[in-house]
């Protein structure tokens, strides 16, 4: 059965496929944004919010949000900057991290990006590429030839279509396989939550922001709990000061139970230090959600 958009609903655009798709849908699930998407449909009604999800190409989302067709969306900072969209950046989301880089063939031995000014550049990001090369062109009195392609940018040098490309690099696998290397970085990017500044659904945008923040925090931290004697309490709480402060409970035997949030990347070191300082029964718990 066709899903019809209710015009009073807030519209939320998420990438329909590609690099951001899975992480965005996991984030929405973790943040309690529930919807049922019928196979092959690019629209879904939310279960507990007056909101309709629309699944669009990541590269179109900032345009739709900027033009007010959609209230809120998730896409890459690179796409927002490329489209020069009039959107409000609500929050960076911590995934989809990569760099937009000028890349040239390893064999060409180019180390100074200035030597690419006036040459042929192929990219899916013509606006950002022009913005990057314009000052160099002006300084050197040349005109860089920038050509747009929608995909497989890395193939352009090998095909003899370009002297260099401007493309995204995460692990560098694609770049290395094409015999390219980084000459300069144009932009650092990650996924971002954006909204139209004139959206009439500010309350839903705020609610989503808090829910997503809670989910992101829960992924960054674990809860560490342990027991300790009165004598070592001062020393151990210095090791686990928590996000605000640790929770300390007095035990009937005179000792204390402490629980505190610890950054995931620091938890093993913290456990070693707690143990060395005399803490016992140290337990680590994953968080599924949070609201600070
Ligand atoms: N290798 C990567 N690592 C991390 N994030 C990436 C990577 N490649 C792209 N992204 C981010 O994801 C966004 C969408 O890129 P993606 O290649 O998935 O786009 P797409 O062209 O819409 O999808 P597809 O390539 O499936 O057609 C990029 O603009 C960037 O913000
Ligand atoms: O540094 P890496 O980890 O290799 O990632 C970089 C590649 O990822 C993206 O392309 P994607 O694979 O999404 O396909 P696309 O070229 O069709 O967009 C991007 O355009 C690069 O080509």
Do 195 and 90 belong together in one domain?
A: yes
154 lines ligand 1 (CB under 6 A): no
Give residue 71's domain range.
Answer: 10-96+191-200
Q: Is 76 part of any domain?
A: yes
Do 103 and 184 belong together in one domain?
A: yes
Q: What is the pLDDT of residue 16?
A: 95
276 alpha-carbon distance from chain centroid: 37
Measured by CA distance, the residue closest to atom 1 of ligand 1 is: 170
Atom of ligand 2 nearest to the CA of 19: 13
Do 176 and 105 belong together in one domain?
A: yes
Q: What is the pLDDT of residue 3?
A: 62
Ligand 2 pocket: which of 95, 174, 175 to mutate (most atoms within 8 A of CB): 174
Q: Is 216 part of any domain?
A: no
Q: Is 226 part of any domain?
A: yes
Do 31 and 88 belong together in one domain?
A: yes
Q: Is 232 part of any domain?
A: yes
Inter-residue contact 75 to 92 (CB < 8 Å):
no
In the chain, the number of structural domains is 3
Atom of ligand 2 nearest to the CA of 18: 13
Do 242 and 278 belong together in one domain?
A: yes
Do 196 and 91 belong together in one domain?
A: yes
Query: Shortest CA distance to 85 belongs to which of 102, 103, 61, 101?
Result: 61
Do 130 and 17 belong together in one domain?
A: no
Q: What span, in angstroms and rounded, lies between the C-alpha atoms of 151 and 172? A: 16
Q: How many angstroms separate the alpha carbon of residue 95 from the centre of ligand 1?
A: 11
Q: What span, in angstroms and rounded, lies between the C-alpha atoms of 192 and 92? A: 4
- pTM, 2 dp: 0.88
Q: Tell me how many degrees the CA angle 83-87-93 measures, rounded to the nearest 5.
A: 95
166 lines ligand 1 (CB under 6 A): no
Do 138 and 116 belong together in one domain?
A: yes
Inter-residue contact 259 to 246 (CB < 8 Å):
yes
Closest ligand to residue 187's CA = 1
Q: What is the pLDDT of residue 1?
A: 53
Q: What is the pLDDT of residue 84?
A: 84
The per-residue pLDDT string of the chain (292 residues; one tens digit each, 9 = 90 and over) reads: 566 667 789 999 999 999 999 999 999 999 999 999 888 889 999 998 999 999 999 999 999 999 999 999 999 999 999 998 789 999 999 999 999 999 999 999 999 999 999 999 999 999 999 999 999 999 999 999 999 999 999 999 999 999 999 999 999 999 999 999 999 999 999 999 999 999 999 999 999 999 999 999 899 999 999 999 999 999 999 999 998 899 999 999 899 999 999 999 999 999 999 999 999 999 999 998 888 7
Q: What is the pLDDT of residue 55?
A: 96
Do 102 and 183 belong together in one domain?
A: yes
CATH of the domain at 247: 3.30.70.120
Inter-residue contact 58 to 79 (CB < 8 Å):
yes
Q: What is the pLDDT of residue 101?
A: 98
Q: Is 214 part of any domain?
A: no
38 lines ligand 2 (CB under 6 A): no
96 lines ligand 1 (CB under 6 A): yes
Closest ligand to residue 175's CA = 2
Do 80 and 117 belong together in one domain?
A: no
Measured by CA distance, the residue closest to atom 13 of ligand 1 is: 76
Q: Is 159 part of any domain?
A: yes
Ligand 1 pocket: which of 23, 42, 127, 168 to mutate (most atoms within 8 A of CB): 168
Query: Shortest CA distance to 242 belongs to which of 207, 266, 219?
Result: 266
Q: Is 1 part of any domain?
A: no
CATH of the domain at 77: 3.40.190.10
Atom of ligand 1 nearest to the CA of 59: 22
Do 240 and 275 belong together in one domain?
A: yes
């Amino acid at each position: 059965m066709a899903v019809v958009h209710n015009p009073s609903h807030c519209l939320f655009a998420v990438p329909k496929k590609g690099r951001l798709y899975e992480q965005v849908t996991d984030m929405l699930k973790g943040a309690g944004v529930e919807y049922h998407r019928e196979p092959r449909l690019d629209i879904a009604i939310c279960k507990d919010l007056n909101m309709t999800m629309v699944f669009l190409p990541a590269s179109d989302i900032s345009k739709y949000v900027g033009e007010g067709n959609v209230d809120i969306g998730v896409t890459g900072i690179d796409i927002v900057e490329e489209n020069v969209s009039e959107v409000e950046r609500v929050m960076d989301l911590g995934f989809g991290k990569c760099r937009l880089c000028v890349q040239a063939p390893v064999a060409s031995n180019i180390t100074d990006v200035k030597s690419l000014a006036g040459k042929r550049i192929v990219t899916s990001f013509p606006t950002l590429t022009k913005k990057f090369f314009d000052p160099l062109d002006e300084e050197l009195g040349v005109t860089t030839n920038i050509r747009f392609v929608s995909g497989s940018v890395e193939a352009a040098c090998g095909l003899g279509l370009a002297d260099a490309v401007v493309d995204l690099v995460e692990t560098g696998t694609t770049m290395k396989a094409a015999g390219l290397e980084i000459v300069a970085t144009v932009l650092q990017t990650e996924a971002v939550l954006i909204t139209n500044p004139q959206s009439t659904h500010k309350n839903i945008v705020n609610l989503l922001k808090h829910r997503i923040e809670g989910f992101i925090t829960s992924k960054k931290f674990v809860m560490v709990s342990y027991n300790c004697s009165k004598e070592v309490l001062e020393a151990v709480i210095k090791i686990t000061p928590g996000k605000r402060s640790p929770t300390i409970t007095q035990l009937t035997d005179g000792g204390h139970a402490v629980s505190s949030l610890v950054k995931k990347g620091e938890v093993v070191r913290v456990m070693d230090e707690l143990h060395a300082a005399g803490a016992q029964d140290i337990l680590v718990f994953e968080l599924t959600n949070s609201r600070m």
